[in-house]
Amino acid sequence: MRYKGIALAAAVTALMAGGVVIAQGQPIALSWQSCGGVWQAPRVECATIEVPIDWERPGKKIAIAVGRLKHTGSGPSRGVVLSVPGGPGGSGIMDLKEHEASFTELRRHYDVVSFDRRGLELYDHLPKACHQREMPLGAPATRAEFDELAATNRAAVRACRDGDPGKLIDRVDSADVARDMDSIRAVLGQEQLRIIANSYGGVPGSTYARLFPKRVAALVMDGTVDHVSTHDQATQERVESVKERLGAFVDWCAADTSCALHGRDVRADWRGVIDKAEREPLPVPGTDITYSSGDLQWAAGAYLTRDDKRRELSIAIDQAVKGSAKVFHDTFRQKPQGSPWLVSVECGDGMARTWRDHQDYERERKGAEAALPEFWAYLLRGSMCIGTDYPVNNARAPLTGTPLPPIMGVQSFSDGHGPGAAVAQVPGSGLIRFNGYGHTMYLTGNTCVIDHVNRYFLDGKVVSATC
């Protein structure tokens, strides 16, 4: 397997090129070697395994990369903790490299392993067209925008599929990733896995728990998105979490003179901006780029998850009131857009409700505007699937009734309610709350969270607490 502009150490590259055939359930000794390229780190080792493109009809295979931080204790390792990367689009191996310190105590007892999910842009699993970010994420406000989005998405998916004879693009959902995770378990000779699922990694994490509940020794959902609630429940959770974040921003602006909107009606200013952009998208001066109402909502929503970006958001809104989207654009350097691979992951996971036609969509849009007038586009995440025909291979489903051990959730103020939704469905489970801004608190080094999670992995101690 080749890497786009990135080479692993020679031995690992050779292993990848030759491939390792994995019979599900059969342990095989991997040839762990030092990682190379962007993954290179003193203590992170790399290897690869081969998995079928289509687990339901095994045939052609691809190689996926696996990384390891080896256990450091004096006795034998107690097993494996598998860290599931977020995104979708994050590299689990990079997580091990960049957040090695977070695993220091855990490694005294366990090997910590992660992986890069199938189709990730760093690899040549898919043609370049599958990773072109040309699919707008902002929800359309008019019939013309709806039709334009459908045409844009159809063209992007067609270009991707034309270069993908193995049809991997239709098998990148999290059910296939969960089966890849089970291959990692098997090849490492583990009867069960201890899993820490990070951010979007909660989708393959919860999917693994549904598919293979008896192979789960422990499961931590850290800042995870919600794949276990119904669409209606998840929508209500999103309404509540966005209202909380917006309220915190408005309160800050009222109290802090560094806010560019201090002394003004922040909500009215923002509503004026998105209403105006709905009629005529805001320009980025000096370019031919414009931001629709949905584009602006997605961009501003990203700011709301970070308290260190409050002043920048206030300046961006102030400039937008004056008719310019330049500050929004300068921050992200591009409009909120997805690639055929990214969109296939989320559409294949059934993350959001989709619509038969524009009339069906318009009914939903009006409901979203009533429920969350300042950020209605946030409730129409399924708009990224408009014009596509990706199969929903991994629909939302609860953990209720699944024979799992008690699990743990970690949820910050700026996270959604995904971890809480998951732990509520598994008896005896616990939730660690962090009443501040942040995401994936274990990886990013919150010592209180790390201590609670480590005790859970080591002796099964489940608590509900605030950090």
User: How far apart are alpha carbons 208 and 282 in whole angstroms?
Assistant: 43
Q: Looking at 16-25, 239-248, 320-329, 377-386, which range is the least confident one?
A: 16-25
Q: Using pLDDT thresholds of 50, 70 and 90, give the confidence band for residue 26.
A: low
CB contact set of 420 (below 8 Å; sequence gap of 6+): 409, 411, 431
CA distance 3 to 365: 41
Q: Are 63 and 48 in contact (CB under 8 A)?
A: yes
**Considering the domain 10-127+170-229+398-466, what is its CATH architecture?**
3-Layer(aba) Sandwich (3.40)
Q: What is the 3-state secondary structure (H, E, C) of 131-173?
A: HCCCEECCCCCCHHHHHHHHHHHHHHHHHHHHCCCCCHHHCCC
CA–CA separation, 147 vs 293, rounded Å? 16
pTM (predicted TM-score): 0.92
pLDDT tens digits for 200-242? 999 999 999 999 999 999 999 999 999 999 999 999 999 999 9
Give the pLDDT of residue 180: 97
Q: Return the structure tokens found at 27.
A: 């342990």
The answer, yes or no, to whether the previous bond of 204 is cis (omega within 30 of 0) is no
- What integer pLDDT is reported at residue 10 of this predicted model? 32
Task: List alpha helices for 256-292, DSSP H.
Answer: 266-279
Q: Residues 94-103: pLDDT tens digits?
A: 999 999 999 9
Q: In one letter, which amino acid is 346? A: E
* Tokens matching residue 6: 């990135």
Residue 43 class from Cβ within 10 Å (0-12 exposed, 13-18 middle, 19+ buried)? Answer: middle
CA distances from 196 to 24, 86, 113, 125, 193 (A): 22, 11, 10, 26, 10
Could you report the per-residue pLDDT of 59-78, keeping only the tens digit for each?
899 999 999 999 999 989 99
- The single residue listed with the structure tokens 């859970």 is 456
Q: Report the pLDDT averaged over residues 300-320.
A: 95
Q: How far apart are CA 85 and CA 67, in angstroms?
A: 12
